[in-house]
Amino acid sequence: MIRIAMIGCGAIGAGVLELLKGDRDLAVHWVVLPPGEHANACDAATRDAPQALVVNSIAGEQGVDLLVECAGHHAIEQHVIPALERGIPCLVASVGALSAPGMAQRLEQAAQRGRTQVQLLSGAIGGIDALAAARIGGLDSVVYTGRKPPHAWKGTPAERDCDLDALTEARCIFEGSAEQAAQLYPKNANVAATLSFAGIGLQRTRVQLFADPGVTENVHHVEARGTFGSLELTLRGRPLPANPKTSALTVYSIVRALANRGRALAI
């Protein structure tokens, strides 16, 4: 059995707990939350992970085999880096956090000091394995286009630039590098950052983001070219009912990564 500490228990974390309910190989023993958020998490943990303790930190906890982050960018600094330095392997869902200057290097150095590994999860996008393999032979370009319904962009800089409720056709709300996209739209552009780390980097990966009243799903389109040939992928991801900014596939990717750690056969 792998004893898992999970950082965060919002829509993503609650979805993970539900899918792991009753799993004998993978058990969430700790749910880590800041003070004041315990009530909602306790409901999810009591229902789907009754063995889990709700704590503020794993700093004083013993026997943690694996930490999985699904809490947002702030959790990288507060929880992931200290866990890596203690030698605890970590899975990171909030890949967009690594667009902050020096953050990727800090994670790598913390893992090296702890003689362990941090794994960046694919989240809402597919084809990461192919893109990472293509990089070995040489990539020339990677272009990502993301489309979401207008309401999914509320609370972002797009809201200042246009009336999202009044849109009648697709509106490009951002065009630039993946680095800029991840910084301006941290809760929506994890995909762009993930593609960048698998491919040609944050500065060279080009991104377009659209608020599109003609779609009801989160539509991700990737084009890549290089020595390997070319790749084109379109993924229409359904959002989590509890959070329209997040794809349901993000939850599934976390559970898959956990299963690959705990099963005898992995793919």
- Distance (Å, rounded) from C-alpha 16 to C-alpha 4? 12
Strand partners, 209: 146, 174
Catalytic residue, chosen from 29, 73, 79, 220, is 220
User: 138: burial class by Cβ within 10 Å (0-12, 13-18, 19+)?
Assistant: exposed
Sign of the dihedral defined by the CA atoms of residues 149, 184, 136, 225, in that order: positive
Report the candidate in 244, 251, 181 with the shortest Cα–Cα distance to residue 215. 244
Q: Do residues 52 and 45 make contact, with C-beta atoms less than 8 angstroms apart?
A: yes
Concerning whether 151 is annotated as a catalytic residue, the answer is no
Strand partners, 26: 2
> Would you say 158 is a known binding-site residue?
no
> Would you say 124 is a known binding-site residue?
yes
- Distance (Å, rounded) from C-alpha 124 to C-alpha 222? 12
Which residue ranges make up the annotated binding site for NAD(+)? 124, 190
What residues act catalytically?
220
